[in-house]
Amino acid sequence: MRKLLHAILLGLLGAGIVHVVVLLLVPGFSERDAWSRLAMASDLYRMTRLDAEAGGAPVVKSVDPLFYAAACRFDLSEGMVRVKAPGNVPFWSASVYDRGGHNIYSFNDHTATGKVLDTIVLTPAQMIEIRKDLPEELQGAIFVEAPIDEGMFVVRSFVPDDSWKPVVSRFLEQSSCELQDY
C-alpha cells in the first residue's frame, strides 16, 4: 500500500515536470502556428488573404468578421522588405510578427503620412547601412526596425458595410510585399 502511494506521488511529481516541459515545447514544435499555415498557403514575399472572403477556409484564425486581412512572409537575411498598398480605406492597421507569431511592431493609418501604407522592414544593421544615404523614393516610408530574420507582415483593413467590400478587397489585393535591393 505504501508502495502504491509512493508510486502515485512520484507520478504526480512527474506530471508537474511533464506539464512544464510540454508547455515550453509547444511553441517550438507546433505545426499549426501562423507561420506554418501561411507557408502552406503561399510563398515568401507573396501577399495572401487571411480571411475566408477570398475563397477557401481562413488561413489564420480569429480574424474579425468586419475586417479583411492579408499577410506575407519575409526573410530579412536576404535583404529588407518593402510593403506598399495603394488606395484609401476607412481604417487599416499593420503588424510585424516574428517567426513564432509574436507581435514585434504595430501601427495604423494615423501613423502614416497621408494615410498611405508604405513601409520598410529591416534589421538594425540594414538600418545603419541605409541611413548613410537614404534614397529619394524611400523618404516618405515608415521604417520598422526588427531584430529578426524570418517574419510576417500583416495588413488588416476595416469593412464598415457591404458597399466597402470591393474597395477594401482591392486595397489588399494591390498591396505588394517586395524584397528591396539596396
Partner 1 sequence: MLKNAFLTLLALAIAIGGGGGSVWYALKTQDGIGAIRIGQWTAFPDIGTQAADPYSKARVAREGVLALGQAEGLSFVAERDSGGELLKRQCAYEIEGGFPTARFWTLYAADQSLGVVETGKPRPAALQSYQVLRQPDNSVVISVGNRPAPGNWLFSDGVGRMYFVLTFYDTPIASSTGLSDVTLPQIAKVGCNA
The contact set with partner 1 (CB under 8 A) reads 3-4, 6-8, 10-19, 21-24, 26-28, 30, 32-34, 36-37, 50, 58, 60-62, 64-67, 71, 91, 93, 95, 97, 100-108, 110-111, 152, 154, 156, 158, 160-161
Q: How far apart are CA 121 and CA 166, in angstroms?
A: 28
What is the four-CA torsion angle of 141, 146, 151, 154, rounded to 10 degrees?
-40
The CA distance from 68 to 168, in Å, is 7
Q: Which residues contact 67 (CB under 8 A, 6 or more apart)?
A: 51, 156, 157, 158, 159
Q: Is 45 left (phi over 0), alpha (psi -120 to 50) or beta?
A: left
* Residue 179: CB minimum distance to partner 1, A: 22
Cβ(158)–Cβ(168) below 8 Å: yes
User: Which CB, 26 or 134, lies closer to partner 1?
Assistant: 26
- Minimum CB–partner distance for residue 129 and partner 1 (Å): 25
| Nearest residue (CB) to partner 1, 4 versus 133 | 4
Nearer to partner 1, 5 or 132 (CB): 5
Q: Name the β-bridge partners of 48.
A: 71
At 181, give phi and psi (nearest 5°).
Answer: -85, 135
Q: How far is the CB of 53 from partner 1 (least distance, A)?
A: 11
Nearer to partner 1, 40 or 132 (CB): 40
User: Please, what is the minimum distance in Å from the beta carbon of residue 136 to partner 1?
Assistant: 28
| Residue placing its CB nearer to partner 1 in the complex, 86 or 90 | 90
How far apart are CB 34 and partner 1 at their closest, in Å?
Answer: 5
**Residue with smaller CB distance to partner 1, 113 or 129:** 113
Q: Least CB distance from residue 50 to partner 1, whole Å?
A: 8
Q: How far apart are alpha carbons 16 and 107 in whole angstroms?
A: 40
Residue 45, φ and ψ in degrees, nearest 5: 60, 30
